[in-house]
Amino acid sequence: MRFLDYPSIIRFAWADFDSSRPIDHIEDISARVSTNHVFRVTLEGGDRVIAKLSYFGKFEHFKEDHRLIHTLANNLLYPFENVLAKSLVKNNQVYVYRHRQEEEDIDVWVVFYNPIRVAEKLPRRLDEHHIRRLGSEIARFHMACSRVSTVMPKSSKTLRSDIQDLLALLDTETGRYEHRMNIEALRKQCNAFLENRRTIVEGAVETIPVFLDWNIGNFSVTKELELFSRWDYDWFRISYRVMDFYFFSRVCSDAGDRTVFSYLINPLAEERFGWFLEEYHKVYPLTRREVLFLPEAYRFFILNYVIKYGRYFFHRTYATKLQSEAYHTYFPSIEHFSVEPILERLKL
């Protein structure tokens, strides 16, 4: 896609949404590590909204994603009613603007949402009392998400469909070129995940709205040890709650909560993550099957977000590095990872 004037597209989108309130200025506040672009939009008079612009994937999935997020945000009750940002609505539906110029291969989408009150982030390396409180708060948050599950819109994306899409990609010219040295190794990893998902959790473990996002460190605890967000937007999908745990293990890890473009399995085995699990388990007990699935949650992340989408989410240099590490380090480490210490710790 050629260079696009993102602020102009946002101005078009806002004029279509509410032409009576002109934009004063637009500030790019993107994290600059993915295909999503985030802007702080200040209107004349000083009111602010957040604009998210994307062109990755399919427009229909973009709309579906934001219906899920909006429904979750509007149905979470105290004390989590203001943790997530709420999308702006027009004609009783989440407003999504589509900017398409087929002759120039341009297809870009914009959604607006209200800023939420954010807090200062915690130190990069959390203390034990922060980690333990985060564990209990996330357990309560997951319980709230579970209660909302019955009113969530149907999602077209599942773990199984995502991995089947990767298998299909490996049969295309693009996939064969992108992964030409490792096609069979990837097929083996995909099939291992699908089989273990079927035997460990399919039909036996509930699905709820979960983060499943490497920006999960944006959610933490205040000095009063209450859950808060320090960002305006994070992605949710309907899946197993343990799909979040690898990301929380990174937040808790000795390396601290920072952007490190390496995704070793080690944080899952750290004593510090054990503190998180102990407190989580007291509030919202985990099952043996869920703990057994932890290595598969990690395998899915590497397959779907490093292998399949890495070249879209990361700068090519990082994507190449991560994919190389996947073949030589990440996948072999799964086979040597044992959940027995966690099962013993939680007495499962």
Domain ranges of the chain: 6-57+86-113, 128-346
Question: Per the structure block, which two tokens stand in for 136?
Answer: 């209990």
Q: What is the percent of the chain where pLDDT is above 90?
A: 53
Q: Which residues pair with 101 in a beta bridge?
A: 106
Which alpha helices (H) appear in 171-326, and where do they start and end? Answer: 173-178, 183-200, 245-252, 271-283, 288-292, 294-301, 310-313, 316-325
What's the rounded mean pLDDT across residues 80-94? 87
Phi/psi at 90 (5° precision)? -140, 130
End-to-end CA distance of the chain: 51
Distance separating alpha carbons of residues 16 and 166, to the nearest angstrom: 37
Distance separating alpha carbons of residues 323 and 178, to the nearest angstrom: 11
Looking at CATH, the fold of the domain delimited by 128-346 is given as: Aminoglycoside 3'-phosphotransferase; Chain: A, domain 2 (3.90.1200)
Distance separating alpha carbons of residues 75 and 133, to the nearest angstrom: 24
Distance separating alpha carbons of residues 71 and 15, to the nearest angstrom: 25
Q: What is the DSSP string of 279-305?
A: HHHHHSPPPHHHHHTHHHHHHHHIIII
Question: Per the structure block, which two tokens stand in for 129?
Answer: 């009392």
Residue 110 burial (C-beta neighbours within 10 Å; 0-12, 13-18, 19+): buried
What's the rounded mean pLDDT across residues 79-105? 87
- Inform me whether the pLDDT recorded for 218 exceeds 60: no
Q: Tens digits of per-residue pLDDT, 293-322?
A: 999 999 999 999 889 887 777 777 778 888
Could you tell me which residue, 130 or 142, shows the higher pLDDT?
Answer: 142
* pLDDT class of 256 with cuts at 50, 70, 90: low
Distance separating alpha carbons of residues 130 and 31, to the nearest angstrom: 25
What's the rounded mean pLDDT across residues 120-140? 83
Q: Give CA torsion, residues 269, 249, 306, 60, to 10 deg.
A: 140
In 10 A of CB 43, how many CB atoms? 15
User: What is the pLDDT of the chain when averaged over all its residues?
Assistant: 86
Q: Tens digits of per-residue pLDDT, 268-284?
A: 999 999 999 999 999 99
Q: Tens digits of per-residue pLDDT, 26-82?
A: 999 876 656 678 899 999 999 999 999 988 888 998 898 888 888 988 898 888 887
Q: What is the pLDDT of residue 315?
A: 73
Q: Position 296: which residue type?
A: E
Tell me if the pTM is above 0.85.
yes
Q: What is the pLDDT of residue 280?
A: 97
Residue 269 burial (C-beta neighbours within 10 Å; 0-12, 13-18, 19+): middle
| Least confident among 8-22, 34-48, 127-141, 302-316 | 302-316
Could you tell me which residue, 237 or 98, shows the higher pLDDT?
Answer: 98
Instruction: Report which DSSP code applies to 327.
Output: I
* Consecutive H or E run containing 167: helix 159-170
- What is the side-by-side strand order in the sheet with 48-54? 23-28, 37-43, 48-54, 106-113, 96-101
- Calculate helix-pair angle for 294-301, 183-200, nearest 10 degrees: 140
| Least confident among 32-46, 120-134, 211-225 | 211-225
- Inform me whether the pLDDT recorded for 212 exceeds 80: no
Residues in CB range of 233: below 8 A, 6 or more apart: 38, 50, 52, 69, 85, 113
Distance separating alpha carbons of residues 221 and 139, to the nearest angstrom: 13
